[in-house]
Chains A and B, each alone.
Chain A
Amino acid sequence: MNPHKSQYACFCTFIPPHVLEHMAKASDEVVRDSVREAARLSMMQDNQIRTNRASQVIDVSALAGAQQGIMAPPAGTAGREVFNCGHQWGSPPPYMLARGEGDPVTADDAVNATYDAGGAVRDYYRNKLGRNSIDNLGLNQVHNVHFGENYMNAFWDGSQMTYGDGDGMVFVSFTRDPDVVAHELTHGVTQHTAGLIYFGQSGALNESTSDVFGTVIQQSIDGTTADDADWLIGNDIMGPELFGEALRSMKAPGTAYDNYIMGKDPQPDHMTRYYYGANDNQGVHINSGIPNRVFYLVAMDIGTDKAALIWYSTLQRLWPNALFGDFAYMVADSARLLTKNKQVPVGTTQTVRLALREVGL
């Protein structure tokens, strides 16, 4: 099988009416193309997905087993394949495999960093959450490093990850920060679970989920706890011109950066400061600050791993066009079910509700 061939068609789901209204207004923005496509796909929506997911009972006993290392995940290799793009822009990429699963360390730092971070992500999902790779069926991780010249980004394309090296001044290699790798891989997990549409509130929930597991896995790698973690996203990819800045702060959304290159961090920390503009797929990287802070508050109370368990349970119960209100209900209900199953401490449901209230949800 060609690992570079996309195996998953993009998901076609419903866009809520208020989103469609904003999409129409966004017609002259950079995002016009994706907006039009989203609008077209929204015509193909199926509300049954929402109904089914809302009534789904999570298997907390399976989660309990996973926590204790009892539950064996389904068979699959979940191997890592790191390809070197050689600074080419081509797509689909006919790149060279630089390091496969079990291969020795190479002379390329980006290859090794991606390989190691990919392993940490795989291990966390498997050992803490009982998930067998991105699709829970042992899908191999395909990472493409050194993409393009001075490319300042990392993305998930529906089946694999691609990372640029940055320009060395504003951003360094996007492989340098394990939370970037964990963030991108988690987009794959979201695709195979809730399938959150990358637009508006569902898109912000999609982004937040990636930030949550990005920081959870970063803390696992660093051996830190909620108390001593930095709760920053992307701080290790900042180049010399922006050293000390970060891309997002889960502890204090809106404070990650303020400089002449990036401007001021626009993330809200409360629903009263919600971003209604059309940029960034209607603020998927902006409004994610609100659920991000909910996670921070809960993790500070019950610990990062227990909070992650609640968020992972919630992710499996959400649906493609879920809104913040749906998330609020589901995350509190997941906390209740996990409390009932003695997976999280008594009082966690109330902790979650208090955190939601703090951000206006």
Chain B
Amino acid sequence: MQIDFASSGGFANLQLDYRAETNTLPEEQANELERLVESSGILDLEQNDLTSEATVGRTDVISYRLSLSEGARQTTLWFNDITAPAAVRPLLAFLRKLALEQKKGR
């Protein structure tokens, strides 16, 4: 599975990005990512499924972009801390953690 993730904004305005092909990751990391993708149901989500009610007028929320590609299945979605479904948030948090670890490793 190919992953392309970016986040920005929030009180700290921390800019993070992360790209990976799960086949090249350590097994434990790859398994956790695939588990979170599965439990989030993100591959079945479409942008229109997400509420846009709260995208303006809310302050200090983090914005996220996430692209996933696996075989013929491909999706790109935009979220923020309010519009992201609760089931997707653990995946977003894990991707931010991986992005931070990648930065520390540079």
**Chain A contact residues, CB within 8 Å of chain B:** 10-12, 29-34, 36-38, 41, 88-91, 148-158, 162, 167, 170-171, 174, 180, 183-184, 187, 191, 197-199, 206-207, 210, 234, 241, 247, 260-263, 279-281, 285-286
Contacts and interface: CB of A to CB of B under 8 A. Distances in A.
Contact of B12 (A38, A88, A152): A152
B86 interface: yes
Contacts of B60: 153-156, 183-184, 187
B103 A30 contact: no
B54 A152 contact: no
A281 to B, nearest CB: 7
A187 B58 CA distance: 9
B86 A10 contact: no
B72 interface: no
12 contacts: A10-B54, A33-B78, A34-B56, A91-B82, A150-B97, A152-B14, A157-B54, A170-B100, A183-B11, A198-B58, A207-B59, A261-B103
Given A30-B78, A34-B80, A198 B56 contact: yes
B49 to A, nearest CB: 13
B78 A247 contact: no
Given A36-B52, A155-B10, 18 more contacts: A10-B53, A33-B63, A33-B78, A33-B83, A38-B56, A89-B86, A89-B90, A148-B93, A152-B14, A155-B81, A156-B58, A157-B61, A174-B11, A199-B56, A234-B12, A247-B12, A261-B103, A280-B13
A183 B61 CA distance: 13
Given A33-B80, A89-B86, A280 B9 contact: yes
Nearest to B103: A261
Contacts of A174: 11
Contacts of A153: 10-12, 60-62, 81
Interface of A, secondary structure class, is loop
A207 B11 CA distance: 9
A153 B93 CA distance: 11
Contacts of B73: none
Contacts of B14: 152, 261-262
Contacts of B106: 260
A30 B58 contact: no
Interface of B: 6-15, 47, 50, 52-65, 78-83, 86, 89-90, 93, 96-97, 100, 103-104, 106
B8 A31 contact: yes
B58 A157 contact: yes
Contacts of B59: 155-156, 184, 187, 198, 206-207, 210
Contact of A10 (B57, B64, B83): B57
B15 A279 contact: yes
Contacts of B82: 91, 155, 157
A352 to B, nearest CB: 26
Contacts of B90: 89, 149
A154 B6 contact: no
A30 B81 contact: no
Contacts of A263: 15
The 3 closest A-B pairs by CB, nearest first: A10-B57, A33-B78, A89-B89
Contacts of B52: 33, 36-37
Nearest to A259: B103
Contacts of A156: 58-60
A37 B53 CA distance: 9
B10 to A, nearest CB: 4
Nearest to A88: B86
A10 B56 contact: yes
Contacts of B83: 33
Contacts of A89: 86, 89-90, 93
A10 B58 contact: yes
A149 B93 CA distance: 8
Nearest to B12: A247
